Chains A and B, each alone.
Chain A
Amino acid sequence: MAHMPTEAQVHQHTAPTGFIRKYIFSVDHKVIGKQYYFLAVFSVFVGMILSWLVRIHLVWPNAHIWGLNALSPAGAPGGVISPEYYLSLLTIHGTLMVFFVLTTAPQAGFGNYALPIQIGAEDMAFPVLNMLSFWVTFLALCALISSLFVGDGPPISGWTAYPPLSAVGRSAGPGQGIGQDLWGISIALFCAGSLLGALNFITTTVDLRCKGMTLMRMPLTCWAWLITAILSLLSFAVLFAACVLLILDRNAGTSFFLPSGLLVNGTLQNHAGGSPLLWQHLFWFFGHPEVYIAIVPGFGVISHVLSVFSRKPILGYKVIVACLLGIGFLSFTVWGHHMFLSGMSPYSGFLFSIPTLIITIPATIISLLWLGTVFGGRLRFTTCMMFALGFVSVFVTGGLGGMFLAQPSLDIFLHGTYFVVGHFHMVMGVAAIFGMFAGTYFWFPKMFGRMLNEGLGKVHFAITFIGVYCIFMPMHFIGLEGMPRRYSSFVNDLMQPLMPVHKFMTIAALITGASQFIFFFNLFWSMYKGPKASENPWESTTLEWTVPSPPPFDNFGGKHPVVYHDPYEYGNVQNGKDYVMQTDPAGQPARSQ
């Protein structure tokens, strides 16, 4: 069949010139990947500061925090965080972290950068659409951040924005006027950007693989990005609909999510006919695939990196692919486990609990295969490898908490407690972030042509690894004791004995947070002053390591690579190397497939 020219091949004949075309409105996937990455770096920085404010307030509720009075005189008079402002801070923290950090960098950041090169393509299938996706996402971030500065502050409804609180408007509380509208607009824009990105990723992976790059010869990173893109394509559509309906409820007087007879702050609302449960269904139908969108790219990076730095082929490539597909499929069947206590049909509790428990199986298999990959390998303890091994640890730890929450009978007690907070922070706030760190330490040489400092990296890892356990493991225990989440202070005598635990976690959070500045310093210093990187500093087999660091604008200098091998040919020493590049026509495979 005819190989019809794609948009990428038609457009990428000449390198872009001029600052705007090269760095601002660039259609080069490498630039766009970096743009997404730095958008995530900015977001995680802001999100981390917000988390410090939250944690400080829990332990020192009357602390006068410098700068807050200027930011929000109503929310933090004299710099003392009010209960409503506490909720505002954690709303923006959650929204920033889940959307603008975990749904951008792992997929749109690293994926945009590395996918085309790893499959031997010059660029993504739709470069202009790619650029549009980034700028739409950027606009979304602007809308969200602006909610901190306009009106009476950000919304207080959490990143989950449950109605009636989120739908009735200003009468529900501070931030529920323009703040919530900005949130809705931001998320709707984000959905649009994600949708465009998703169809770009899928089309690129299907159509632009170079000769010899069969699907089963793709690095596992590419499989992870493909499956994540499919999840994004299918799930963000529902969130978009939900946000549109929420915006209508707030501004057009509709009542999709608002029942009749609602008394808000003493005022009877005019709405009738809607159901708050409908929002929960729509939101979590998106929300559960979303958390897999956040973690699956990490699975890909870790699978990839563990093999590279163990100098061993990944154990069970096909099984990992099957497990990733299984996780993707099952992720659409479990959303009700966020709603066990919502008042939904009791039969649904049982029906959602079963697939929630089943989904642990492929995740466990993947974790075991990672251990099997590392076992017996000639480990190279680079910082990247440390974060990869750390990922295995924190993901298993955090995931185990999910097994408790999956059971409605236990969730009756654990829902809305710190147990949940500890669980999702371990898997998303730690494991997924470790995936991002691993990706950074791995691809930094390729992206910037320089090496990150390994000494600083190891210090960063050590403090972070110990720190995150100190912050998030105790949350499981205080959650089991019944400590509720999203409470700005605890005056109940029952909770007072647990306050020292909060103090411990806060101090750990501040130290761990401070140590991230080691990483930020390393990142920005090494971009300009780090030692120059060779083409293949990690002795890795995949296609991005066959091109210069950083690569030319069309990745392969006009050549079309041909692939002869699987991506994980490590360990079999031949020609003085213990690895065989995917593009090496001569090398023997490590073992027969």
Chain B
Amino acid sequence: MEHSETAGLKIVFSVWFGLLGLTVLEVILAYRQLPLETMLTVLMVLSILKAALIIAYFMHLRYEQASLFVTLIPALVFVLIMMTAIFADSSRLAHMRPLIQ
């Protein structure tokens, strides 16, 4: 079963423009003086979107067997989600400042 090693040229360049556009959007948003948490959420969402585009089209995962995606990505996402548990202690730390700064 032959499949092309890369996506078509049109898609590749569309993704490229999309990535550049998202980058510009991020930069514009950065100067909008939003509160830190909102900014963080927005940037993370956009970054994940950019990462997904790169993984799917540049790294060709969209065109591989679905089983490969299922093997790699959920495990990675699961580990990353588990690691976010540490932030509970981070926000506690913010309220526990030491005597000497």
Contacts and interface: CB of A to CB of B under 8 A. Distances in A.
User: Do the two chains belong together in a single complex?
Assistant: yes
Interface of A: 1, 230, 234, 238, 259-261, 268, 272, 275, 277-278, 281-282, 285, 329, 332-333, 336, 344-345, 347-348, 351
Contacts of B49: none
A281 B100 contact: no
A285 B100 contact: no
A351 B88 CA distance: 12
A234 B79 contact: yes
Interface stretch (B4-12, B28-36, B91-99): B91-99
A278 B89 CA distance: 9
A345 B88 CA distance: 7
17 contacts: A260-B100, A261-B100, A275-B90, A275-B93, A277-B93, A281-B85, A281-B86, A282-B86, A285-B86, A332-B78, A332-B79, A332-B82, A336-B85, A345-B88, A345-B92, A348-B88, A351-B85
Question: Most A CB atoms within 10 A — which of B1, B89, B101?
Answer: B89
Given A259-B98, A261-B99, A278 B78 contact: no
Given A259-B98, A260-B100, A261-B98, A348 B85 contact: yes
Contacts of B70: none
Given A230-B75, A234-B75, A285 B98 contact: no
Contact of B86 (A259, A278, A332): A278
A259 B100 CA distance: 10
A344 B89 contact: yes
Given A329-B78, A344-B88, 14 more contacts: A230-B75, A260-B101, A261-B99, A268-B100, A272-B101, A275-B89, A275-B93, A281-B86, A282-B86, A285-B82, A332-B78, A332-B82, A347-B88, A348-B85
A351 B85 CA distance: 10
Contacts, number: 44
Interface string B66-94: 00000000010011001101101110110
A352 to B, nearest CB: 8
Contacts of A275: 89-90, 93
A332 B75 CA distance: 11
B75 to A, nearest CB: 7
Contacts of B85: 281, 336, 348, 351
Contacts of A277: 89, 93
Contacts of A332: 78-79, 82
A329 B86 CA distance: 18
A327 B75 CA distance: 14
B1 A1 contact: yes
B23 to A, nearest CB: 26
Q: Which 7 A-B pairs have the closest CB atoms?
A: A261-B100, A345-B88, A281-B86, A261-B98, A344-B89, A332-B82, A234-B79
Interface string B9-45: 0000000000000000000000000000000000000
Nearest to A282: B86
A569 B88 CA distance: 51
B83 A285 contact: yes
Contacts of B83: 238, 285
